[in-house]
Structure 1
Amino acid sequence: MAALQGEGQRARGRKTVRARNVAVLVLPHVHLLDMSGPVQALFEANGFGADYRLSYCGPAVEATSAQGLMLGRLEPLPDPRSLDLVLVPGMDSRTLKELSAVPVAWLREVHAQGVRVASICTGAFALGHAGLLDGRSCTTHWKLSAQLQQWHPASKVLHDRLFVRDGNVITSAGVASGIDMALSLILEDHGPLVVARVAREMVIYLRRNGEQTQTSVFLEYRTHLDHGVHKVQDWLVTHPNERVTIDGLARIAAMSPRSLTRAFRRATGITVKSYTQKVKLEVAANMLSNPAESVESVASHCGFMDARQLRRLWKEEYGVSPSQWKVTRRGPHTRPV
């Protein structure tokens, strides 16, 4: 077994991924954290195999932030057809009555091209000003949600959400929730393991949208700071088909087997064995959603001793057999019930 690369090491030699062009719309009186939080998450994702190409644009070549920092050399508004994502950070709420700087026509064209448009905090007011919230569910900072609803009655403002996605428009509640929203975009583009690594790199908890009732073992059991345990979790997630021993995992964690057993339970609340089985079963669930896969082939791919072991553990975990669940033809991101 080979240990994973050190955290924060930039990915090299990995398969090519599609580059995604991200335009950050910098408006007057922008809040720095509204902008820097999501940008930092996307930047960190680039260290784990993503390719987000960030640019900063605005209606003028410079803008003064709400905190007084001058931001200069902003690029002109790019061709909407070249973009994959537009971030609209929030502005000082005391300036919301004057939104003349919002590039309404450009935002409408971006949206018409099917580009994802994501606002942070009061950035939702810019989207509303451009008509992008009409007929959509959305959210903003809790102090301003009633005002957003009053100003844009054709929208449906949700008052208790970290972020809300309706079509290709995503709005977030503000400040730190912009990071949560960015993690959800990374999850969509690159999957749960990259998200878990980004969250760990930024030393933040993984939080999920209130509408997302599904759970994933790839995202659960990660709200701790034990470096050795994280290395073991990463290895298990990337090697679901391998048989594991506590001695081998202990070498990855640079611990003794006894120390790893104690540390893993203390950090995650479950045993190494239980976590390993949950990983294998979730990979099996993703594979079984493909009608062409048999229980036998899935058992072999996921490192079970045989199909009988897979069936037994599946029944213990989910209460139905793999074949019974397979008949339901659920999607690959829906866990069995």
Structure 2
Amino acid sequence: MKKISLIFVIAFLLFACSSVQNVQKPEEPVQPEEVIVQYITLKGEISEPKAEISGLAWYGDYLILLPQYPHLFPSDYDGSFFAIPKSKIAEYLNEVPNAPIKPIPISLNAPGLKDIIEGYEGFESIAFYGNTVFFTVESSPAEMMGYLFKGTISDDMKTITVEVDTRVELPPRAPISNATDETILVTNDRVITIYEINSEQLETEPYAYVFDHSLNLVDSLSLPYIEYRLTDATELDENSNFWMINYFWPGDQKDQKFSLDPIARKYGEGETHSHYNTVERLLEFHYSPEGITLNKKAPIQLKLIDDKNSRNWEGIVRYGDRGFLIVSDKYPQTYLGFVRK
């Protein structure tokens, strides 16, 4: 009888220990799904690596593509921007097979701009408010310096004219090479520019410059710490939310030391992100006059190629409710792509 009781006690203890282990064992997080970028094939000069497309924006029903160096595309004035009708993009995404799209050139009238800015390194971002267009320009005469310009687009969409004598400096918040304000947000009375590096490793708190539409500096806005580069943003939606490209090229490790990525720790890494060092993802933020905050929403992680072919995404716009259009510069080549939500 004692032997049977002892066996019962041992069995009970083993069961109890097993139950405790099962209770204490944390559930394995589900690996996030990554989104495959659907490429939209371009033809003509804008498809060449020299285009180095650095920004996207909607102007009505036209997608405007901003080359970093517009003067490389001759026009009657000082170079060219490019436009694609939204209808052409819809046709491409909805039809199989689909023919490459040739964007429409828009003449840039910006007399002497690249000579006025010492150490000129090209255009970095673009945004519209009605017929008014805002740009940021990057330079590095000795140290990095950004500039904010404004201009207008003609009613026939044939010319964009820049007010070259109306510009303001955008001093970078850190001495990092190839880093200035690469993002513009526009509200009905404000123009906001965002520096591309906002890591917690920097010794200064991140903030955005705030201007009125006449380019007078009126305020600054707090920003959250975000690891890796922020390279462009969508327009604000009706709830004042917007998405930004968050990109890390492994070669940046030579110049920058990033802390562990809190976003990856919180939401996990997709299959290719867990395998490679590259980061290509979209983050959602919220704007208010009191500051810019990161929304509590999982990032959209793009399916990577590999570390040798990380895509330097430089421009983003919303594409209705379906997702986003994004564009890369010349690394590893010019890509225009659709990202579903």
TM norm. shorter chain > 0.5: no
**In proportion to residue count, which structure has more strand?**
2
When normalised by structure 2's length, the TM-score is 0.26
Largest Rg, 1 or 2: 2
RCO greater where, 1 or 2, for CA within 8 Å and sep 6 or more? 2
